[in-house]
Amino acid sequence: MPNSKDITIVGAGLVGALLATLLAQRGFAVTVYERRPDPRVAGYAGGRSINLALAERGLHGLRLAGMTDTIMELAVMMRGRMVHHRDGRTELLRYGRDDSEVIWSVSRGRLNIALIDEAAKAGARFVFDRRLAGAKFGDGAALRFEDEAGETHDIRVPFAIGADGAGSALRAAMNAESPLGERIEPLGHGYKELEIPSLTNMPESALVPDEASALSRGEVFAIEPHALHIWPRGNYMCIALPNAEGSFTVTLFLPGEGDPSFATIDSPAAARALFERDFADALPLIPDLDKDFAENPVGVLATLYLDHWHLGGNALLVGDAAHAIVPFHGQGMNCGFEDAVELADLFAADSGDAAAVFAEFERRRRPNAAAIAAMALENYVEMRDSVADPAFLLRRELGRVLAQRHPDRFMPRYSMVTFTRMPYAQALARGAAQEQLLRELTAGKTRVDEIDLEGADRAVQRRIEPLAS
Ligand SMILES: Cc1cc2nc3c(=O)[nH]c(=O)nc-3n(C[C@H](O)[C@H](O)[C@H](O)COP(=O)(O)OP(=O)(O)OC[C@H]3O[C@@H](n4cnc5c(N)ncnc54)[C@H](O)[C@@H]3O)c2cc1C
């Protein structure tokens, strides 16, 4: 049975749909079961963030699927972080060296629909309105689905791949069969989405004179479109990512307890007072703050750790179902797309032994998923706090200088994660060695020109291994 070219995927989200595309393009007979209705017919029924940052790892998967042109048409380039200080000053911290090192904001719904379209074009079969309700394993997988009317549909398949997201039903069934070593660590902070409308949709009363004249010139973005905006405020922050049609999705991240937190900021009036105090330049841009705050739920954030991702050759987890992470490196989907590429390659090279494919997939991907989980947690502190910290900014500046002087050895960790496909675990280890060096070189200093760069050069040569070409 494991020799079968039939592959069953649960979940037609971002990772499930890309995996279906890559496998169908390689000649596998793929069937995907999805609990939601077909978004191509019913419209995309959101859930998580409205837009996401796409970086090199994700782009690579889309490239292999032949989808870059389609997706780039939907994407907005983000050159760096636009930091909004309390006093209203803004400052662009570039992500990379130039416009060849940028990230892209894409609509989750449009990306998901494009992926489903592509997978269907390649021959994958989608069965919508099928919620996995339970599974039993042993010489294959027996899956029970429920449709919206509550009717059950049972199937038996050689194996099932769970791409059903952080709350995976397949994972729950696998865990019941044989414990996977599941640990879910809540971040203790949540998020709420708000919106800066495009200038064309901004109520006239909310337009300031600059915006009114920008609109008359045909511009649609109320703030710089080619940046990921951040309002870092210590223990909490707001961010905003551009959408292709001119709006921005704003995400307010707050702790669950303390002040301010979602416990104290629990009404539109409290949110307005918080924005007046801490995000004063953003407030006039969010005309529907009260409504958005009242209607949009508080999203929870957590990291999922598992000791095992597969049950022999009967079932395997991929994407968020295996390794949901916090969103602060913008890598959850990017990492899941790497999963899809790796798994499709393994299936294509497979000798027919599903258990061996799943074990090899877990061996290759699990250390990397753990590394990006750790880096994503660290990045929350960097985004909400460090980007306003002079010592951090000095280390960052020196890091850029060293990267220019030693392009063969020194690369900022953000760049390794975002602009390369170096395994995450390697980026984590190299980043730790570089950070230690930067801390030593900047100790007691306030400016780069106070640092002995020739001594720094020698230290880089001695302590940082050459990058693989
Ligand atoms: C606020 C926020 C911002 C983020 N920003 C970024 C970013 O900028 N960049 C980035 O790379 N990542 C980002 N992420 C992470 C990204 O959203 C996830 O990593 C990505 O969605 C994982 O894809 P997936 O296909 O594994 O899971 P999902 O996208 O969750 O898809 C799971 C699919 O399975 C279906 N499903 C669920 N249960 C069942 C069931 N029982 N039966 C059948 N189908 C089922 C769901 O309907 C869904 O279609 C962010 C996440 C959050 C929460």
Q: How confident is the model at residue 208 (pLDDT cuts 50, 70, 90)?
A: confident
For ligand 1, whether the C-beta of 330 sits within 6 Å is: yes
Residue 312 zone, left/alpha/beta (φ > 0; ψ -120 to 50; rest): left
Q: Does 49 contact ligand 1 (Cβ within 6 A)?
A: yes
Q: Confidence band (pLDDT; 50, 70, 90) for 391?
A: very high
Global pTM reads 0.96
Q: Give the helix/strand (H/E) hosting 461.
A: helix 453-463
Centre of ligand 1 to C-alpha 46, Å, is 10
pLDDT tens across 84-95, in order? 999 999 999 999
Tens of pLDDT, residue by residue over 339-353, are: 999 999 999 997 789
For residue 324, the ligand 1 atom closest to its alpha carbon is: 19
Give CA–CA dist 405/400, Å, rounded: 9
What's residue 209's pLDDT?
A: 75
Residue 306 pLDDT exceeds 50: yes
Instruction: Please report the sign of the dihedral spanned by the C-alpha atoms of residue 277, residue 278, residue 281, residue 282.
Output: negative
Is the CB of residue 52 below 6 angstroms from any atom belonging to ligand 1? yes
Query: How far is the centre of ligand 1, averaged over its atoms, from the C-alpha of 166 (Å)?
Result: 7
For residues 316 and 361, the answer to whether their CB atoms sit within 8 Å is: yes
Q: Is the CB of 55 under 6 A from ligand 1?
A: no
Distance from residue 159's CA to the centre of ligand 1 (Å): 22
- At 6-53, the pLDDT tens digits run 999 999 999 999 999 999 999 999 999 999 999 999 777 765 568 999
Ligand 1 in reach of 61 Cβ (< 6 A): no
Question: What is the model's pLDDT at position 212?
Answer: 79
What mean pLDDT is predicted for residues 260-269?
Answer: 98
pLDDT at 2: 39
**Closest Cα to residue 244, out of 74, 67, 38?**
74
Q: Whose CA is nearest to atom 48 of ligand 1?
A: 13
Say what the pLDDT of residue 127 is: 98
Q: Say yes or no: CB of residue 163 within 6 Å of ligand 1.
A: yes
User: Which residue has the least CA distance to atom 38 on ligand 1?
Assistant: 164
Mean pLDDT of 157-172: 98
pLDDT for the residue 42? 76
Ligand 1 centre and the CA of 188: distance in Å? 20
Instruction: For a ligand 1 pocket test, name from 49, 132, 323 the mutation site with the most ligand atoms within 8 angstroms of its C-beta.
Output: 49
From CA 106, how far away is CA 115, in angstroms rounded? Answer: 13
How close is the Cα of 48 to the center of ligand 1, in Å? 7
Q: How far apart are CA 110 and CA 40, in angstroms?
A: 10
Q: Which of 316, 411, 307 is nearest to 354 (CA)?
A: 316
- Ligand 1 proximity of 326 Cβ (cutoff 6 Å): no
Is 260 touching ligand 1 by the criterion CB < 6 Å? no
Q: Is 226 in the pocket of ligand 1 (CB under 6 A)?
A: no
The answer to whether residue 159 scores a pLDDT higher than 60 is yes
Q: Which of these ranges, 66-70, 294-298, 388-392, 462-466, has the smallest mean pLDDT?
A: 388-392
**Distance from Cα 233 to the centre of ligand 1, integer Å:** 27
pLDDT digits over 405-421, tens only? 999 999 999 999 999 99
Please list, in sequence order, all residues whose beta carbon lies within 8 angstroms of the beta carbon of residue 268, skipping any fewer than 6 positions away. Answer: 289, 290, 291, 293, 294
